[in-house]
Amino acid sequence: MATRLPLLTIETILRDYLHPFRCDCHAQENSHLTVRLYEDTADGEELTVFGITDYQCRDAANLVRLAQELRFELYATRSGMPVAADAAKVVAG
């Protein structure tokens, strides 16, 4: 079983890569994480992801990949989804 980074470290890395979105991470009883993403200005929740595994949070490289997946999911689920080429630019950074 993979050991995940401390929760504060996970939140810091995700916030850095998901800016301008804010994020809150919560540990679940089953040793998974829930990540909630939202915008400061909208005061509304944009995306909540349950069941993030310890493996996905074991090091910075995996958290960067997770942040890329979350950013892509944010753009895919929001109204006015960008075309695939624009989404690829967003994910690529």
What is the pLDDT averaged over residues 58-76? Answer: 91
**Could you tell me the pLDDT band of residue 79, with boundaries at 50, 70 and 90?**
low
- Please write the tens of the pLDDT for every residue from 12-59: 999 999 988 888 999 998 889 999 988 877 666 688 899 999 999 999
In a 10 Å sphere around its CB, with 0-12 CB exposed, 13-18 middle and 19+ buried, how is residue 14 labelled? buried
Residue 45: how many other CB atoms lie within 10 Å:
11
- DSSP 8-class letter at 50: E
Query: All domains of the chain, ordered by start, with CATH?
Result: 7-92 (3.30.160)
pTM of the full structure: 0.73
Tell me which amino acid residue 55 is: Y
**Could you tell me the pLDDT band of residue 1, with boundaries at 50, 70 and 90?**
low
